Amino acid sequence: MVSEETIEGCRRGERKAHKTVYETYYPVMLAITRRYIRDDEEVMDVLNQSFIKIFKKIDQYHPENSFEGWCKRIVVNTSLDHLRANKRYRDLFNFEAIVPSYQTFNDGLNTLSMEELYEIINTISPISKVVFNMFVIDGYSHKEIADHLNISVGTSKWHLSSARKQIQAKLKVAYPELSVLYG
């Protein structure tokens, strides 16, 4: 967590304040970017773009809100903008209407580490991964996801369900001894 004095230093364009913010939030923001983008070079590009936006838009930050939360929102939005702008990802966002089939996911795997779960999440289809991250990890509603990705709410729900099914299938393979949890 950075002090209000550091944030004010960023507003004044002080390089030392920028460095403090960057070094403090780099690990968290890197992890967020990696949840959306697989390629390491692209991750670094998006992360750097995110920090540039944070410093350029710092006057839009309101001290009554969480600074880290504000920064996270910029990183998520920058990651989504990158996915939409990149040709190889853009084609993933062009869907015909898909009938939603929303099911509940059993998340009772206490023995699974977050790193192992992130590795599994990184192997699912890209659009389902984006929807899953936005809904489950970043707390977006289906309406917000639909607006950000230019898809319908039903398509967002379908991708969440698809992501959960893909994760569940991978967990069955990785942890067959826990198959009793999968039904």
Q: State residue 94's pLDDT score.
A: 45
Query: Is the pLDDT at 88 greater than 80, yes or no?
Result: no
Query: Is the pLDDT at 86 greater than 50, yes or no?
Result: yes
Quick check: do 4-91 and 95-182 share a fold?
Answer: no
% of the chain residues with pLDDT over 70: 81
- Which segment, 13-17, 81-85, 90-94, is predicted with the most confidence on average? 13-17
Give me 32's structure tokens: 């967020």
Q: What is the dihedral of CA 51, 55, 58, 59, to 10 degrees?
A: -150
Long-range contacts at 24-32 (CB < 8 A, ≥ 24 apart): 25/68, 25/71, 28/68, 28/72, 29/71, 29/72, 29/75, 32/72, 32/75, 32/76, 32/79, 32/138
Mean pLDDT of 110-134: 80
CATH topology of domain 95-182: Arc Repressor Mutant, subunit A (1.10.10)
Where are the domains positioned within the chain?
A: 4-91, 95-182
Contact (CB, 8 A) for 10 and 21: yes
Q: Which pLDDT band holds residue 44 (cuts at 50, 70, 90)?
A: very high
105/123: higher pLDDT? 123
Query: Is the pLDDT at 91 greater than 70, yes or no?
Result: no
Q: Which CATH number fits domain 4-91: 3.10.20.70, 1.10.630.10, 1.10.1740.10, 1.10.1060.10?
A: 1.10.1740.10
Q: For 109-118, write each residue's pLDDT tens digit.
A: 445 566 777 7
10 Å CB burial of residue 86 (0-12, 13-18, 19+) is: middle
Query: Rg of the chain over CA atoms, in angstroms?
Result: 18
Q: For 65-78, write each residue's pLDDT tens digit.
A: 999 999 999 999 99
φ/ψ of residue 85, rounded to 5: -80, -25
**H or E, element range at 172:** helix 153-174
134 DSSP 8-state letter: I
**0.85 exceeded by pTM:** no
Average pLDDT score, the chain: 82
